[in-house]
Structure 1
Amino acid sequence: MRISRTTVLLLCTGLVTMTSIGMSSFSLFLRPLEADFGWSRAMVTLPYMFAMLGWGVGAVLFGKLAGALATSILLLALEIPNELVFFLLVAVAIGPTFGTVAVQNVIFYEIAGPRMAGVILGLSFIVHQIGSAGGPMFASIAFDMTGSYDGFMMVMALILLVSGVLIYSDTRQDMHPTHSQLESVSVLNQRQGSYTDGLRI
Structure 2
Amino acid sequence: MTDLGRPAASPAYRWVIVAAAAAMLAIVMGQLVNGLSVFFIPMEREFGWSRGSIALINTAGLIGIAFGGIVMGAVADRLGIRTVCLVAALAVGSCVTAAAWADQLWQFHLLFFLAGAFGGGAIFAPVIAIVGSWFPVGAGLAIGIASAGQAIGQGGVPFAAAFLIEALGWRGAMLALGLISLATLVPLALLMRDPPASRHPGGVAPADRAPPLPPGFVVLALSAAVLFCCTCMSVPLMHLVPLIQGYCISAPDAGGVLFVMLIAAIAGRVAFGRLADMIGPIPSYMVASLWQTVGVFAFTQISDLSLFYVFAPVYGFGYAGVMTGVLVTARALTPAKGRAMLMGVILAFAWLGHGFGGWQGGAFFDLTGSYTLSFANAAAAGMLNLMIVGTLLVMVRRRMAAAPA
TM-score category by the smaller chain? 0.5 to 0.7
Amino acid at match of 2:268: G
Instruction: Tell me the equivalent position of 1:192.
Output: none
1:146-189 Cα shifts (integer Å, max 9, x gaps):
xx744x3553453255236647878xxx699xxxxxxxxxxxxx
> 1:77-96 counterparts in 2 under 5 A?
78-81=211-214, 82=217, 83-96=219-232
CA distance in 1, matches of 2:286, 2:46: 46
CA distance in 2, matches of 1:64, 1:159: 34
Instruction: Tell me the equivalent position of 2:243.
Output: 107
Q: 2:256 aligns with which of 111, 119, 125?
A: 119
Q: 1:59 aligns with which of 65, 69, 72?
A: 69
CA distance in 2, matches of 1:19, 1:109: 25
5+ long unaligned stretches in structure 1: 177-201
| Preserved contact between residue 240 and residue 258 of structure 2 (Cα < 8 Å) | no
Query: SS in structure 2 opposite 1:101?
Result: helix
Instruction: Tell me the equivalent position of 2:279.
Output: 142
* Aligned length in residues: 165
Q: 2:290 aligns with which of 155, 158, 162?
A: 158
1:98 aligns with 2:234: yes
Q: Comparing 47-56 with 120-129, which one deviates more in the overlay?
A: 120-129
1:22 aligns with 2:31: yes
Shift of 1:90: 2.7
Shift of 1:33: 1.7
Identical aligned residues as a percent: 18
Q: Comparing 71-80 with 46-55, which one deviates more in the overlay?
A: 71-80
Instruction: Tell me the equivalent position of 1:39.
Output: 49
Shift of 1:53: 1.8
CA distance in 1, matches of 2:274, 2:48: 44
Query: SS in structure 2 opposite 1:39?
Result: coil
Shift of 1:88: 1.6
| Preserved contact between residue 300 and residue 371 of structure 2 (Cα < 8 Å) | no
CA distance in 1, matches of 2:275, 2:47: 45
5+ long unaligned stretches in structure 2: 1-12, 81-129, 134-203, 303-369, 373-405
Shift of 1:105: 3.0
| Preserved contact between residue 44 and residue 51 of structure 2 (Cα < 8 Å) | yes
| Preserved contact between residue 245 and residue 254 of structure 2 (Cα < 8 Å) | yes
Q: Comparing 9-18 with 84-93, which one deviates more in the overlay?
A: 9-18
Specify whether residues 59 and 175 from structure 1 end up closer, same or farther in structure 2 by C-alpha distance, changes over 3 A only. closer
Query: SS in structure 2 opposite 1:116?
Result: helix
CA distance in 2, matches of 1:128, 1:29: 22
Specify whether residues 87 and 65 from structure 1 end up closer, same or farther in structure 2 by C-alpha distance, changes over 3 A only. farther
1:73-125 Cα shifts (integer Å, max 9, x gaps):
95756554313112222323334213552123321333433351331232233
CA distance in 2, matches of 1:116, 1:168: 17
